[in-house]
């Protein structure tokens, strides 16, 4: 399955990850089942290098704003500042909503701003999604 995401959203996710490194960043993905419209930064209230938790007040605010536009919060993003683009054991243990999408930002290195990968939670695990990055 493919997930469309605008380049500006990918850049925002990578910038957020770079700013918070070496800690994880997190945010929400607003859009529809097959297309992300935007990434919304949120505060990581469980700050640390291998954990994240979106601030519930910011999550509810993003849901209200998305609903007003006929959209929904369909996923979340976070970074793996020292790890791979694969979901971790912690990601699997803390995932809870089947169909929820996850974008993981990998570490930047040697002049590279990093990379992203997309997944959909299936219940027993994650399904890799091909990210189709749309030009602005």
Q: Could you list the active site residues?
A: 24
Task: Tell me the two tokens of residue 84.
Answer: 């791979």
CA distances to 4, 24, 64, 69, 125 from 117, in Å: 12, 15, 27, 26, 15
3-state secondary structure of 94: helix
**Can you list the alpha helix ranges (DSSP code H) found in 21-96?**
56-68, 89-94
């Amino acid at each position: 399955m493919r997930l469309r995401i605008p380049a500006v959203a990918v850049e925002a996710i990578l910038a957020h990850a770079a700013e918070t490194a070496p800690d994880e960043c997190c945010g929400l993905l607003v859009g529809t089942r097959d297309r992300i419209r935007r990434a919304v930064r949120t505060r990581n209230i469980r700050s640390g290098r291998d954990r994240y938790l979106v601030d519930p007040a910011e999550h509810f605010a993003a849901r209200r704003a998305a609903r007003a536009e006929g959209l929904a919060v369909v996923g979340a993003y976070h970074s793996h500042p020292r790890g791979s683009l694969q979901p971790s054991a912690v990601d699997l243990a803390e995932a809870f909503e089947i169909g929820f999408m996850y974008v993981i930002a990998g570490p930047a290195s040697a002049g590279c701003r990093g990379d992203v990968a997309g997944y959909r939670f299936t219940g027993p695990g994650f399904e890799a999604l091909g990210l189709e990055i749309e030009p602005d």
